[in-house]
Amino acid sequence: MSQPALTKRTSWQMIVTLLLFGFMYFPILVLAFYSFNASRYSSRWEGFSLRWYESLLNDSRILSSLQDSLFVAFCAVGVSAILGTMMAVGLAKYRFFGKGVYRGVSYLPLIIPDIAIAVATLVFLATLGVRLNIWTIVAAHVVFCLAYIAVVVSSRLANLNPHLEEAALDLGATPLQAFIKVLLPELMPAIVSGCLLAFVLSMDDLLIASFTAGGGANTLPMEIFSRVRTGVKPDINALSVVLILFSGALAFLAEYLRYRSDRRQFRQ
């Protein structure tokens, strides 16, 4: 291929890439810009102000819903971290009947639409006669958080030296000691990375929480949705910017931990 043709092709690829990035991130920039608007109406600029960020600190409904979201996320991620790690290790180390089917079923929440999970969970809870409350939201969030953490830990297990635990056992360690002192430290970066990812997904969930929330339970996405139904106000813009920065920081930290873990594994 000639140099002019290659240059022309590269320029078109660059233009398409820039258009795609603009389509994805320009609305976020507009949102951030209008979060500093002094006007009560998002469509009219009246000057720079931090009043909407200050109002978030005095909004009792926002603070209460944020507390509920944090409670759900921490509980769901804590349970999922333990169960997801055990599931990943069990699928990687042991052979049993129906292992392939179990693996496929375990990862189904990754591809099933959220609305399907929400409806199925609601029907299941109603069949059992369980009263909806904040704990039913936690249980529903464990379903998809578990799958995400298990996938991240499984990818780390696939790159580990399979003889590490065998060496520890040969040196006199019990299976439990080998797991805690040898395997778990190697898996910890992946576990933390998966937990951060699951935490962001739990904080961001609206559908599943809406279907499984009872009286008195109101997560932050549910509160935001109830407000934007009557129009987007500048305080919602400010809250959205804070959530974007928070989620971006957690995603960056998760990717950094994964990158460090991969580099250390490569050096070994």
pLDDT number for residue 76: 94
Encoded tokens for 214: 């009872």
Which among 5-9, 211-215, 262-266 has the top mean pLDDT? 211-215
Higher-pLDDT residue of 215 and 86 is 86
pLDDT number for residue 81: 93
Mean pLDDT of 10-27: 82
Residue 206 class from Cβ within 10 Å (0-12 exposed, 13-18 middle, 19+ buried)?
middle
Query: Quick check: 1 pLDDT over 60?
Result: no
CATH superfamily of 59-267: MetI-like (1.10.3720.10)
Greatest pairwise CA separation for the chain in angstroms: 73
- Which pLDDT tens digit goes with each residue over 242-251? 888 888 888 7
pLDDT number for residue 72: 94
- Closest to 81 measured CA to CA, from 193, 175, 166: 193
Distance set, CA 256 to CA 225, 246, 259, 267 (Å): 32, 15, 5, 17
Distance set, CA 83 to CA 147, 150, 173, 175 (Å): 10, 8, 24, 18
Q: What integer best gives the mean pLDDT of the chain?
A: 82
pLDDT number for residue 237: 82
Query: Quick check: 65 pLDDT over 60?
Result: yes
Mean pLDDT of 101-121: 84
The 10 Å Cβ neighbour count of residue 115 is 11
State pTM to two decimals.
Answer: 0.80
What span, in angstroms and rounded, lies between the C-alpha atoms of 199 and 202? 5
pLDDT number for residue 242: 86
Query: Quick check: 5 pLDDT over 70?
Result: no
pLDDT number for residue 135: 92
220-228 and 184-204 helices, crossing angle to 10°: 20
H, E, C per residue of the chain: CCHHHHHHHHHHHHHHHHHHHHHHHHHHHHHHHHCCECCCCCCCCCCECCHHHHHHHCCHHHHHHHHHHHHHHHHHHHHHHHHHHHHHHHHHHCCCCCHHHHHHHHCHHHCCCHHHHHHHHHHHHHHHCCCCCHHHHHHHHHHHHHHHHHHHHHHHHHCCCCCHHHHHHHCCCCHHHHHHHHHHHHHHHHHHHHHHHHHHHHHHCCHHHHHHCCCCCCCHHHHHHHHHCCCCCHHHHHHHHHHHHHHHHHHHHHHHHHHHHHHHHHHC
What span, in angstroms and rounded, lies between the C-alpha atoms of 236 and 230? 12
The 10 Å Cβ neighbour count of residue 261 is 20
What phi and psi values does residue 98 have, to the nearest 5 degrees?
A: 80, 20
- Which pLDDT tens digit goes with each residue over 165-200? 777 777 777 777 777 787 888 888 888 888 988 998
Among 69-83, 111-125, 204-218, 241-255, which is the least confidently predicted range?
Answer: 241-255
